[in-house]
């Protein structure tokens, strides 16, 4: 009960005083429903971000971000470098701690360590630099999480690993070390490693930015395939062709703010803001 109150306070610390009572009661009743009926944990939204702020010392990296992602929705976040795109998605699984505001992932309000652990169990992440474990084989990279964090037997974990390696189309590399693979293959392994944890939500932090041009499409194909399977995802990327193909909604950020959101067709054909138009002109010029 006390932790619930703390979380409610955490959420409301940015809210104006007047509507605080209503906010509290909404969250309260939601929690009670979920406690009453554990089996139907059916929340309308996969991710809810409200009034999110983040500072790096004096630098205001995220300014009052509000973003709601529905289940199964595919969001592409773009914007100039330093606009806070990566910081935003890194807040979603608490790799970066936010300073105030409220993040709810699949019904879990981010607060204490237990809630962060619960959220990370639902959220997979793919990094720009792959971040594979170089001392382990591909197969060991994939089985480490399921075996140690989920308690799967080696046999089950390896079966699952091979299933996802086949899905990203590199089962034959299972016994190699990451260093022996190309960048594109490494990133596909990284995607498979995340999938082995069977997350409900996937975050991609510039997944193709560190790749040679000829390897970008093999990675994007895997991500598109995943998008088509109904996975909820937030992708930070500059690949606008991919965004048109796979995104339900575009989010454009600049200077730590969400400047514009919209469907890909609205966004590309008819951007509302001048800043967004300028950005698109820059990256679509060539």
**The binder of other proteins chosen from 6, 28, 135, 277 (CB under 8 A):** 135
Tell the smallest beta-carbon distance from residue 1 to other proteins (Å): 26
Asked whether position 133 contacts other proteins by CB under 8 A, the answer is: yes
Measured between alpha carbons, how far is 21 from 277 in angstroms, rounded to an integer? 41
From residue 66 to residue 105, the character string flagging contacts with other proteins as x (rule: CB under 8 A) and all else as - is ---------------------------x-x----------
Least Å from the CB of residue 205 to other proteins: 10
The Cα 171–Cα 33 span in angstroms is 44
Of 46-65, binders to other proteins (CB under 8 A) are none
* Angstrom distance (rounded) from CA 197 to CA 99: 28
How far from chain centre, in Å, is Cα 108?
15
Tell me how far CA of residue 258 lies from CA of 88, 261, 269, in angstroms.
Answer: 10, 8, 19
How many positions of this chain bind other proteins (CB under 8 A)? 27
Tokens coding 196: 């082995």
Q: Which stretch binds other proteins (CB under 8 A): 48-56, 190-198, 247-255, 274-282?
A: 190-198
Using CB under 8 A, which of 194, 208, 232, 237 touches other proteins? 194
Minimum CB–partner distance for residue 15 and other proteins (Å) = 28
Q: What mask, x for binding other proteins by CB under 8 A, covers residues 140 to 179? A: ----xx--xxx--------------------------x-x
Beta-carbon contacts of residue 218 (< 8 Å; ≥ 6 apart): 184, 188
CA distance 207 to 99: 26
Q: How far apart are the first and last CA of the chain?
A: 57
**Residue found by looking up tokens 């809810």 in the block:** 48
Q: Which residues bind other proteins (CB under 8 A)?
A: 93, 95, 117, 120-121, 123-125, 127, 129, 131-135, 144-145, 148-150, 177, 179, 190, 193-194, 196-197
């Amino acid at each position: 009960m006390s932790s619930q109150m703390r979380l409610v306070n955490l959420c409301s610390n940015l809210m104006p005083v007047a509507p605080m009572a209503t906010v509290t009661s909404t969250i309260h009743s939601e929690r009670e429903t979920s406690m009453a009926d554990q089996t139907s944990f059916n929340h309308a939204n996969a991710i809810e971000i409200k009034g999110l702020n983040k500072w790096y010392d004096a630098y205001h990296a995220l300014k009052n971000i509000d973003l709601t992602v529905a289940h199964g929705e595919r969001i592409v976040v773009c914007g100039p470098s330093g606009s806070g795109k990566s910081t935003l998605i890194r807040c979603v699984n608490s790799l970066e701690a936010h300073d105030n505001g409220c993040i709810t992932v699949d019904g879990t309000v981010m607060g204490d360590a237990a809630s962060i652990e619960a959220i990370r169990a639902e959220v997979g992440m793919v990094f720009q630099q792959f971040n594979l474990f170089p001392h382990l084989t591909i197969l060991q990279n994939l089985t480490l999480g399921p075996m140690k964090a989920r308690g799967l037997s080696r046999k089950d974990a390896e079966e699952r690993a091979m299933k996802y390696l086949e899905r990203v189309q590199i089962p034959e590399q299972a016994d190699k070390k990451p260093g022996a693979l190309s960048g594109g293959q490494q990133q596909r392994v990284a995607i498979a490693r995340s999938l082995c944890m069977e997350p409900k939500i996937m975050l991609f932090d510039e997944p193709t930015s560190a790749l040679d041009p000829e390897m970008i499409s093999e990675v994007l194909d895997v991500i598109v395939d995943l998008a088509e399977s109904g996975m909820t995802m937030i992708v930070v990327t500059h690949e606008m062709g991919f965004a048109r193909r796979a995104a339900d909604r575009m989010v454009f950020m600049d200077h730590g703010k969400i400047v514009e959101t919209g469907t890909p067709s609205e966004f590309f054909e008819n951007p509302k803001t001048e800043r967004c138009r300028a950005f698109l002109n820059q990256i679509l010029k060539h």
